[in-house]
Structure 1
Amino acid sequence: MDFAQVRQRAAVPGSPILNAFKAEREAARAMQSARSQPLPSRSGARGPFSAATSDRFTASWMAGQRAINDELRGDLDALRSRARDLGKNNDYARKFLRMVARNVVGANGFTLQARVQDAPAKPDSLANSAIEAAWFKWAKRGSAEITGRMSFADACRVMMMATARDGESLARIVRGSAAGNPEGLALQLLDVARLDTQRNQAPGRGRNAIIMGVEVDDYQRPLAYWLKDRADASTSSATRIPAGEILHIYVPEAAEQVRGIPWMHASMLSLHDLGEFNRSALLAARKGADTLGFITSPDGTAQGLGDMGGAEGEALQISAPGTYDVLPEGYSMQAYDSKYPNEVFDPFTKAILRRISSGLDVAYNGLANDLEGVNFSSIRAGVLEERDQWTTLQNWFIDAFLEPIYTEWFARAMTAGCITMPNGSALPIAKAAKFAAHEWQGRRWTWVDPLKDIEAARLEVKTGIASPQMIAARNGVDVEDVIASIAAFEAMVATSGVTLVDYSNGGSAPAADAAPAVSTALP
């Protein structure tokens, strides 16, 4: 049967071939119609995921999806402005920013520990000391930071506080003679508000994409930054700065994210509302303490007050210590007695602060300065989790900020001959790869009951699950520095003629009439 015969039979009404064609065509139409229709609403209905249900209880819950950069493009400037206002005027927000700087950077900043070795397990102590001394000299105030007002540790604290408050921070690398130091390297800290959030450009026609002031390639690798002349400039003019001159650091929270998000964003509304609530409660208590009242007349008018000693139209003040006034006939006194704050104020405030602490990822007791009802076990459990977060941020800051700076500083210092041995000779640049080995040590924390931790550390070393080096690093010190310090101390004792008595080992106490300079007891 040829094609013409098949076609002729299919045209006969009721033929199986025609019915099959019609059925297939109707199925295709139904499939196309289903694809073009929106997903059915499950209003009031329970689906596989209850959080996706759309009903009157979830009407205010956003269910749309946008790319992270599209969300930031519309909200970042407002978020940053409000975060800065909280940092200046909200008690708890300011405490949080100080906690970040104090726990991530610390009082002395990050400590460089050179790890140069002549052979495995044989450190080159002279080279290590020379490198650390040269870095310490560069990091002092007047050298590392271009204005001369901050040391490198100060700059680290400013960068960390800015990152926590604004979600990101900027530093420009100044090279050459403009740096004003032998290495030819300094930092200029910049206000991230200078990074033009409203400058956006689609790629094409030989142009790179610009996302909120950051020029990127096809892989979203930064190529340049568009900076306004001033942080508060509202003009569209901006200067293009190559990415090699800028350190732009932030903690990414999503793939393809180009700008940072203020760390307080999830708690900002609660911080603001709690601040307004506390202010209202304070004003209510203040007014209640003043024992205010109102004078009322029978018809609700203020006529006749002038006869009581005040001029017509002026407010009458009858409150004076130890004085009682008599009101005219027909007037009465309505007292204002504020009952607020009442007994629920404190637990309500604590509940909100616990929620805020969760959003900021810090322990409630530290943020609220509340140690009421805290014991050793409970505070240790909360602090351990918080310190894990601080350590995580320290590692991030080392990778994002310290390592790029140190890598360039080391190369320039070696080239300029700034790292010298005790005999005055510079480290040979031919062995730069050997001398580049190093580590960073962030600040560490002590405990309320250090004796238990010392005993635990001693047991760890005794059982072989930890080394003295690990214990020293856990305490924020270098074991080589500890050994050198002990050796120097023993040398001082040997030359001074002082006899040290360790009572814990059964040493006898000196006589009562013995000269105090001869015997000193160890704790």
Structure 2
Amino acid sequence: MPLMISDGRFRGRAFEAAKSSRLGSIGLHSNSYDADIRMGLRALRSKSRWLFENNDYAKQFYRLLKINVIGPKGITLQNKAVTESGELDKEANTLIETGFADWGKRGVCDVTGKLSWLDAQWLFIETVGRDGECLVELVHGFPNKYGFAIRFIEADHLDENLNRELSGGRHIRMGIEFDKWDRPIAYHLLQKHPGDIAGFGSSASSFGNQYRRVIAENMVHGFLTERVRQSRGVPWSHTTIRRMALLDGFEEAALTNARAGASKMGFFTKSSPEVGEEGNEYHGSEEDENGDIISEFEPGILEELPWGWDFKEFNPGYPNGETEPFTKLQLRGAAVGWGTQYHALTGDLTDVNFSSIRQGELIGRDGWKFLQAFVSSVFCDPVKTAWQRSSMLTQALPLPMRDFDRLNVMKWCPRTWGWVDPVKDMTSFYMEARSRSLNGMMAERGIDLYEEIDAMAEERKYAKSKGIDLNAVIFNGGKTNATAAATNSVK
């Protein structure tokens, strides 16, 4: 039997946030996320791009994305195929890694010939952040050595106004064709960019812009999923756009007032009704055609006012001491909205100390690692899989196609960061190594343990041939007692 509560004493215990109040302005609606996206996507994307093109802080955020998520060397491939005996297939792995690096050179990996694999990774994360989503077509049969290339397509080609019901439970929602399980089947793309210029004064959005259908297996559609049944991505600036627009207007007003306050400005007023009448004219300054006094001001010049005129100073008192706190408040909110650290976004280190900035750096790095995992799984995985399949079919990779599944085992190594406090962090690393896999710990830092061991063995062999003991140099050279003790305990 359902519980029925009619006593008025319990009515006040409902969610307070669900109640309407004159002090609040939170909208109430129950739309699906796709409905919200469809209504606002084009405007949000346009405003996000405006910020990217015109706002210093937005520009810095997207720069931080490329620096921290992708880094100067990119997210690199380690192939991890094993033989039937369970050992690493070093020969095949080397062949695949070498081939992928060769395909990733500028002029090979993308259809335009303008991008390298590193450029493609930078462009992918920047586009997803700015536009909310990124479309990359996997082009099989492309005329290069590997028979494969990628093609970046702006999200504008995916028409959010294309919505239809099809047979068999299929439907098109915002340009994407789904089956009855909401699994993407195909993407219906406008042949021409709707905002491009196709000719002299004619827009590509004119009548006749047709769609082309690309099956989902040949399309990477990268965006962060935030709600169930979400079909399209939302620009990451959607919560900061209004805040940054207000800050832009505030800064413009403050600068205008500052310029006015730095100038000698004011108004001439008549102190006597006879001023200007015949016999009381003043000829010391120029007058315009309406009889108003014209005076040019120069630094360090003192002037005598005309007879019968007073000067009322115009001295705007703004900007004042509230300018900086307000600006910081807005930028802190923007940094949280973008998911980065305030000091990194603004370069302002005035209120930080070593402990706070260290903690902030560690938290910030966890956020970048989250996005590294996103790029690796959503972008790098399908591109590498498609490349390897095409390369084995064309025999650019001389490996048997029957072994594709066994050989297509990949691990992505994103960029890492140096230790914030080297002594403490190194000691912690060595203590952690007592209870963890060294291979796993090294992989978290983007290092292949087996390749590192081979390189170390080769270095020691060469050093020994020159009469140098590298162990003595490394373990006894300039270390603190704590680090040396931790190192020796692991040894």
Q: TM-score range by the shorter chain?
A: 0.7 to 0.9
Q: Deviations over 1:125-157 (max 9, x none)?
A: 232222111110001111111111110111111
Matched, 1:447 2:419: yes
| 1:158-307 → structure 2 map (5 Å cutoff) | 158-176=123-141, 179-201=142-164, 203-204=165-166, 208-228=170-190, 229-232=192-195, 233-235=204-206, 237-243=209-215, 244-298=217-271
In 1, the alpha carbon distance for the partners of 2:405 and 2:93 equals 14
Contact kept? 1:196, 1:238, Cα under 8 Å: no
Please, what is the CA RMSD of the aligned residues? 2.9
Counterpart residue type for residue 67 of structure 2: R
Aligned to 1:73: 38
Q: Deviations over 1:247-281 (max 9, x none)?
A: 22111111111111111111211111112212222
In 1, the alpha carbon distance for the partners of 2:410 and 2:431 equals 29
| More off after superposition, 79-88 vs 243-252 | 243-252
Matched, 1:343 2:321: yes
Aligned to 2:200: none
Q: CA deviation at 1:122?
A: 3.4
| 1:76-475 → structure 2 map (5 Å cutoff) | 76-118=41-83, 122-176=87-141, 179-201=142-164, 203-204=165-166, 208-228=170-190, 229-232=192-195, 233-235=204-206, 237-243=209-215, 244-298=217-271, 308-312=285-289, 316-419=294-397, 426-461=398-433, 464-475=434-445
SS at 1:123 equivalent = coil
In 1, the alpha carbon distance for the partners of 2:377 and 2:440 equals 21
**Aligned CA distance change for structure 1 residues 301 and 446 (closer, same or farther; 3 Å):** farther
Q: CA deviation at 1:503?
A: 6.1
Q: CA deviation at 1:480?
A: 2.2
The normalised TM-score by structure 1 is 0.79
In 2, the alpha carbon distance for the partners of 1:418 and 1:350 equals 55
Contact kept? 1:105, 1:157, Cα under 8 Å: yes
In 1, the alpha carbon distance for the partners of 2:391 and 2:88 equals 21
**Aligned CA distance change for structure 1 residues 302 and 504 (closer, same or farther; 3 Å):** farther
Contact kept? 2:49, 2:130, Cα under 8 Å: yes
Contact kept? 1:115, 1:438, Cα under 8 Å: yes
Matched, 1:484 2:454: yes
Contact kept? 2:285, 2:295, Cα under 8 Å: no
Query: Which stretches in structure 1 are left out of the alignment for 5+ residues?
Result: 1-41, 420-425, 509-523
Q: CA deviation at 1:356?
A: 1.8
Q: CA deviation at 1:506?
A: 6.0
Q: CA deviation at 1:121?
A: 6.6
Contact kept? 2:270, 2:308, Cα under 8 Å: yes
Q: Deviations over 1:386-425 (max 9, x none)?
A: 2222212221222211111111111121222223xxxxxx
Q: CA deviation at 1:298?
A: 4.3
Contact kept? 2:166, 2:172, Cα under 8 Å: no
Q: Which has the larger radius of gyration?
A: 1
Q: CA deviation at 1:184?
A: 0.9
Among 56, 59, 63, which residue is 2:22 paired with?
56
| More off after superposition, 343-352 vs 255-264 | 343-352
Counterpart residue type for residue 96 of structure 1: F
In 1, the alpha carbon distance for the partners of 2:273 and 2:468 equals 91
SS at 2:262 equivalent = helix
In 1, the alpha carbon distance for the partners of 2:183 and 2:58 equals 33
**Aligned CA distance change for structure 1 residues 251 and 318 (closer, same or farther; 3 Å):** same
In 1, the alpha carbon distance for the partners of 2:406 and 2:72 equals 31
Counterpart residue type for residue 192 of structure 1: A
Identity score, percent: 33
In 2, the alpha carbon distance for the partners of 1:302 and 1:250 equals 73
In 2, the alpha carbon distance for the partners of 1:74 and 1:306 equals 66
**Aligned CA distance change for structure 1 residues 506 and 166 (closer, same or farther; 3 Å):** closer
The normalised TM-score by structure 2 is 0.84
In 2, the alpha carbon distance for the partners of 1:475 and 1:455 equals 16
